[in-house]
Amino acid sequence: MNTPLPGHDLPQPGWHWRNSFAELGPDFYAPLAPQPLPQPYLVGHSAAAARLIDLTPAALQTPAWQDILAGNQLPAGGQPLASVYSGHQFGVWAGQLGDGRAILLGELAPQPGQPGVAQELQLKGSGLTPFSRMGDGRAVLRSSIREFLCSEAMHALDVPTTRALCIMGSDQPVYREQPETAAVVARMAPSFIRFGHFEHFCHTGQHAQLRQLADYVIDRFYPACRTDNRFGGNAYAALLQAVTGRTAQLMAQWQAIGFCHGVMNTDNMSILGLTIDYGPFQFLDAYDPGHICNHSDHQGRYAFHKQPGVAYWNLYCLGQALLPLIGEQEQAIAALETYKTLYPQAFAARMAAKLGFSQAPDGLQALVDEVLRLMAADRVDYTIFWRRLSHWARQPSLADTSVRDLFLDSAGIERWLLQFSEHVAQPASGFFADLMLRTNPKFVLRNHLGELAIQAARAKDFSVVAQLLDVLERPFDEHPAFEAYADFPPDWAGSIAISCSS
C-alpha cells in the first residue's frame, strides 16, 4: 500500500536494529512502510528521550535521522509493520482494530555488553495501514504536540509512560472538524503490546498465537513469572497477576497526580503498565472527581474517579483473553483479585507521599478523604492546592492563609489544616516537607498550556513547545521565569473541547 523506501544505514555506534516483534510472524502484523510526509520539519524533540538510545540532539537533527523520523526513509535493518489487535471500546466488544495510523519501524537494541534498554520506535500518524478502517492514517499537529509534551511530562513526574522522541510536522492538510496539518510523533517504549493484542488472538480462536504472544511477553518483560509459585507454577496466571500489579500502581499514580486519560479502552491499555495513547487526556484544573475530559464520552464511562474501576474491568478482559492459557478460572480470578488490595495500598502510599509522609500514618485515609471532599465541594485547583500545601507545611501556621484562600469553606479547611499539622508534629511521624515538594509538582501540562504551544506552532513558532518541555521535564523545580505556567487556568481553558482520535 505504502511506497517502499530505500534503507538508511544507522544507528549510532553501540546500537543495532532488531525486530523481535516481527519475528513473532505474519499472523501478528502487516509488513508495511510508512507513507512519506511531504516536506517535513522538526517541531520539537526530547533530548532526554534521545538519551535512552544514546542519540545526541545533534544526531537526531541530521538529515538521515530526520528522514527516518518523518517516515521518508527506512532504517536499514528495521522491519516496519502495523500490528493487529482488537479491543473493547466504551465497554463494548469492537472486534479488530490494529495500528490504523502507527508503524513500528523496529527495535533499537544495545549491543551485548552495552548498557541500555531496547526501545521499539514507532511513528504515529504515518499513513494508511490495513487497519485504518474509516480513518486517514494521519495525526494532526495539535494532538501530536499534546502527546509529545504529555509523554515527556509524565515521565518527569515518574509515571510509567511511552516516551516521545520528536514531532515532525508538515503543511500537508488533514481534515478533522476543520482543516489542520499533519504531524508524526516518534514514540518509544520497550513494547507497544496492549491488552487488545491478547483479546484479538483469544477472540479469533488463534490460541497457538495467543500462547506465542504470552510467552514472548513473559520471556522479555516478566521472566519472574516462570518461577513464581503463587499460582502452582502457572506462568500465565502469574503474568496476569504481574500486569494487574503494574496497572494498580499506574492507576494510583494517575489518581494522585490528577491525570484523566479519557479513552481507557482495552486497546489503550499497555501490557507493561505504561500510560499509552494520549488523546483527550487532561490534568485536572478544579478538582471535580466526576470530571469527563473526553467530549465523546457522553456517559462519563471514563470520568476521573472511575479510572481505577475501569482498569479493573479491563484487567478482567485481559484475564478472559488469557483463560485458554491459564486453564483454571479460579487462578485467573485469584490473580485479578489482588487488584482489590494492591490498588488501595498503592493509592494510600501515593497520597501519604503527597502529604509528606514516608509511610502511611494512622488516620491517613480519613485525612485524605476529608481534604478531597473539601476540595470537591469548592472545586479547588488540584495542582495549586497540593503545591501551596507543600510550602505551607514547612512552617504550619493558620496565619499563613495561602491554602485557606483557595477555599470558600474557610472553617472546614482550617479544621483540616489543624488535623494535618497534628500529624506532622507527631514525633516519628516520618514527615518530610521536602518530600511534599518532590511529590507535588508545580507544573503539569494543563490543557490551556498545551493550547498555547499549539497556537504558536501553527504559526511556525516552535519555541513554546521547547519552553514547555523544558519546564515540564523538571516539574518540581521553581522556574521563576515561567511562573505563569503554574497559574490558574484562564477562563477560555473551559472552552477547549477534545475528543478521541484526532
Give the separation between CA 108 and CA 15, rounded to whole angstroms: 6
Name the grid cell of 101: 495510523
3-state class (DSSP) for residue 283: strand
Residue with cell 464511562: 301
Q: Does 296 bind ligand AMP (CB under 6 A)?
A: no
67, 99, 228, 267: the active-site residue: 267
Q: Give the type of residue at 278.
A: Y
Give the separation between CA 135 and CA 124, rounded to whole angstroms: 13
**Out of Mg ion, ligand AMP, none, which partner does residue 350 contact, by CB within 5 to 8 A per kind?**
none
Q: Does 277 bind Mg ion (CB under 5 A)?
A: yes
**Out of ligand AMP, Mg ion, none, which partner does residue 443 contact, by CB within 5 to 8 A per kind?**
none
* Minimum distance, C-beta of residue 266 to Mg ion, in the bound complex (Å): 10
Give the separation between CA 126 and CA 103, rounded to whole angstroms: 7
* Minimum distance, C-beta of residue 96 to ligand AMP, in the bound complex (Å): 9
Task: Report CA-CA distances (Å) from 220 to 108, 193, 326, 441.
Answer: 15, 12, 19, 33
Q: Give the type of residue at 444.
A: V
User: Which one of 48-56, 69-77, 272-280, 319-327 is the stretch in contact with Mg ion (CB under 5 A)?
Assistant: 272-280
Cβ-based nearer residue to ligand AMP, 149 or 406: 149
Q: Does 279 bind ligand AMP (CB under 6 A)?
A: yes
In terms of Cβ atoms closer than 10 Å to its own Cβ (0-12, 13-18, 19+), residue 475 is: buried
Cβ-based nearer residue to ligand AMP, 267 or 285: 267
Task: Report CA-CA distances (Å) from 298 to 253, 268, 308, 489, 499.
Answer: 25, 19, 19, 24, 11
Among 67, 99, 152, 199, binds ligand AMP (CB under 6 A): 99
Tell me how many residues contact Mg ion (CB under 5 A). Answer: 2
Contacts of 47 (CB under 8 A, 6+ apart): 57
Give the separation between CA 294 and CA 116, rounded to whole angstroms: 36
Per-residue x/- marks for ligand AMP, 257-276, CB under 6 A? ------x---xx--------
**Out of Mg ion, ligand AMP, none, which partner does residue 101 contact, by CB within 5 to 8 A per kind?**
ligand AMP
Q: Does 268 bind Mg ion (CB under 5 A)?
A: yes
Look up 267 and say whether it is catalytic. Answer: yes
**Out of ligand AMP, Mg ion, none, which partner does residue 138 contact, by CB within 5 to 8 A per kind?**
ligand AMP
Contacts of 457 (CB under 8 A, 6+ apart): 43, 141, 145, 169, 464, 465
**Out of Mg ion, ligand AMP, none, which partner does residue 319 contact, by CB within 5 to 8 A per kind?**
none
User: Which one of 99-107, 252-260, 364-372, 454-462 is the stretch in contact with ligand AMP (CB under 6 A)?
Assistant: 99-107
Contacts of 304 (CB under 8 A, 6+ apart): 255, 258, 260, 284, 288, 289, 290, 291, 292, 293
User: Which one of 30-38, 96-104, 220-228, 408-416 is the stretch in contact with ligand AMP (CB under 6 A)?
Assistant: 96-104
* Minimum distance, C-beta of residue 126 to Mg ion, in the bound complex (Å): 15
* Minimum distance, C-beta of residue 99 to ligand AMP, in the bound complex (Å): 6
Q: Round to the nearest angstrom and report the end-to-end CA distance of the chain.
A: 22
Tell me how many residues contact ligand AMP (CB under 6 A). Answer: 18
**Out of Mg ion, ligand AMP, none, which partner does residue 137 contact, by CB within 5 to 8 A per kind?**
ligand AMP
Give the separation between CA 43 and CA 135, rounded to whole angstroms: 24
Which has the closest alpha carbon to 317: 131, 83, 92, 99? 92
Among positions 123-162, residues that touch ligand AMP (CB under 6 A) are 131-132, 135-138
Among 184, 311, 352, 500, binds ligand AMP (CB under 6 A): 500
Cβ-based nearer residue to ligand AMP, 90 or 432: 90
SS3 per residue for 181-245: EEEEEEEEECCCCEHHHHHHHHHCCCHHHHHHHHHHHHHHHCHHHHCCCCCCCCHHHHHHHHHHH
User: Which one of 127-135, 183-191, 268-276, 397-405 is the stretch in contact with Mg ion (CB under 5 A)?
Assistant: 268-276
Residues serving a catalytic function are: 267
Contacting positions for ligand AMP (CB under 6 A): 97-101, 131-132, 135-138, 263, 267-268, 277, 279, 500-501
